[in-house]
Structure 1
Amino acid sequence: MKTKLTFLAILILITFFTACNVNDSYYEDYTPPAPPTGIQVLNGDGRVDISWNPNRESDVAGYNVYYSYTFEGRYTLIGSTSNNYFIDFGASNGEKYYYAVTAYDYNGNESDLSYDVVYAVPRPEGFNQTIFDYRRFPNNAGYSFANYSVVRYDDQNSDVFFENYQGTYYLVVWDDTDIQDMGYTNDIYDIPFAPASGWSPSKDVIAKVGHTYVIWTWNNHFAKIRVTNITPDRIVFDWTYQLVEGEPMLKPSVKGGIRQQINKASLER
């Protein structure tokens, strides 16, 4: 009798632990990850690079990236990734996009939209552009950002031209245009916005290799150039040009503000 009771007790214990394991295997996780933080964007030419801080939850499977044409508008899913960065290759130059990111776990739970307020306005850019000293080569001394082309220095579309005056090199603009030396930069992307003041009263600045210059064109557009090489006859530079009139964003990263929680049922997938 004692042997039978012991066997029965063991059987009950086995059944109990088996039931526990079965229940564990069917445990449902309904808790979504936290919204991603530290969203940043980098303007490009027909593209926007988006990055954020990785979530700390161990069960995060990936991230969804959304965009909207207005901050409070409807957000449309444009892609998913398991990394903490995404490139929007479908962005159009001259269009403003607001971006938001969500995190999702292996059970399909998705966080709220990220709270950072970020937008980008992609714009055209160019590299290794050359113009020449207007005194010796007047037909190839000016540059038109609107036309993306070299023009005569006094052409009505000329936004900036190059001058070698007795061995000192200048970038020169006309009376209806402004220019400002923003100092040395590592590349063309280092200056995020056009300045609100500080424009050169003389309508010219000394050209220096490695310096970036912001130009406020006659038709209320902003551009910037970064000088990469200078010789007595020519100057070489990289450039960006903002297509949206009056838009000061030249590179991009806007942070700050709080996004209200948006019902994910209203998002476009």
Structure 2
Amino acid sequence: MRYVGIIMILFLLISCCKISEPDTEPPAVPRGVISITGDRAVYLQWYPNNEKDLAGYNVYRNYSPGGFFDLIETVFTPYFVDYNVTNGVTYYYAVSAFDEAGNESDLSPDLVYDTPRPEGTDILKSYLTDPFESGFDFSSGEVLPYDGTQTDIYYEYDTLYEIHYMNCANDSTDIQDFGYMDDLDGINYAPEYGWSYLGWVELIVGHGYIVWTRDNHFAKFRIVDYGNGWCKFDWAYQIDEGNRELAPPGTRESLNEVQ
């Protein structure tokens, strides 16, 4: 009976013990990665993972869509701001998720690329009354004379009809009205068509406008306010020649494999 009792105790002990297997399953690949173009910054965001043992995310970057991606940051929220960038340079991004056991997912298949660009806010005065403070050069972000050699656009106010205009400073610059938008980020890409054949547009508060400069750069501005002979506008400029990207969301392309 003694042996039977010992056997029963051993059986109970063994049956109560559970063998814990190591966790080798990685989290799901992050989804919905997008970028937002900034001035000397790129803003990244994605859908949060739902794993209970999720520990964080790794953000990777490259200068081309293929090849090796460098780990640039580990974050614990589904967003990241990359300030270590240069305006006019294109960067490619991918994101992975990792859990408490150290398992890491594959990189996000939607490779995001973005090109940060300058932006600002300025005030112009009508060239009819203040010719030296009516023009604007997007490449330098400076207010210039309306007929300056580097001037891209210049402002005009019609006192008789109380109408505000923005004129192209030369025949090689194009402009178009992109319609009403809540903020400057409402314009994300410069189109190929729709440019004004007149070389000027009427300004409306809240409307966004796109400029194609004589040296093949793209810019945008939005009228914040205007008054008797002046206008205030937000602007952004793409210093990468021929690059039509101006604002969020960043462009995404699905890849078969990201190394």
TM above 0.5: yes
Q: Secondary structure at the match of 1:104?
A: strand
Give the CA deviation at 1:62. Answer: 0.7
- Which residue, 24, 27, 32 being the options, matches 1:33? 27
Other-structure match for 1:102:
96
Q: How does 1:90-129 map to 2 (within 5 A)?
A: 90-127=84-121, 129=122
Aligned to 1:16: 14
**Does residue 1:140 correspond to 2:133, yes or no?**
yes
State the shift of 1:9 in Å. Answer: 4.0
2:169 aligned with 1:171 = no
Higher strand share: 2
Contact 2:37–2:250, Cα closer than 8 Å, also in 1: no
CA distance in 2, matches of 1:189, 1:147: 21
Q: Which residue of 2 aligns with 1:266?
A: none
8 Å contact kept, 1:142–1:159: yes
Is residue 171–residue 199 contact of structure 2 (8 Å, CA) maintained in 1? yes
1:215-226 equivalences in 2 (<5 Å): 215-226=211-222
Q: What secondary structure sits across from 1:257 in the alignment? A: strand
Residue 63 of structure 1 pairs with residue 60 of structure 2: no
Partner SS for 1:114: coil
Q: TM-score, normalised by structure 1?
A: 0.91
- Which residue of structure 2 lines up, in the alignment, with residue 267 of structure 1? none
| Cα separation, 2, equivalents of 1:203 and 1:59 | 59
For the residues of structure 1 that align with 2:9 and 2:108, how far apart are their CA atoms? 52
1:256 Cα deviation after fit: 4.4
> Match for 2:157: what amino acid?
N
CA contact 1:46–1:122 (8 Å) conserved in 2: yes
- What is the letter of the counterpart of residue 5 of structure 2? F
Alignment of 1:65-80 (within 5 A): 65-80=59-74
For each residue in 1:128-180, what CA deviation from the matched residue of structure 2 results, as whole angstroms up to 9, or x when unmatched? x1010000000100011112110000101111111012311101102110000
Q: Do residues 200 (structure 1) and 193 (structure 2) align? A: no
Extract unaligned runs of 5+ from structure 2. none
Instruction: Report the TM-score when normalising by structure 2.
Output: 0.94
* SS, match of residue 9 in structure 2: helix
Match of residue 45 from structure 1: 39
> Which one-letter code corresponds to 2:132 in the other structure?
N
Contact 2:34 2:252 in 1 (8 A): no
CA deviation digits over 1:7-27, x for unaligned, max 9?
A: 324421343045x33x22xx2
Instruction: Report the Cα distance in structure 2 between the residues aligned to 1:261 and 1:245, rounded to whole angstroms.
Output: 29
RMSD over aligned CA atoms reads 1.5
Match of 1:259 among 242, 249, 255: 255
How many aligned residue pairs are there? 256
* Residue 89 of structure 1, CA deviation: 1.1
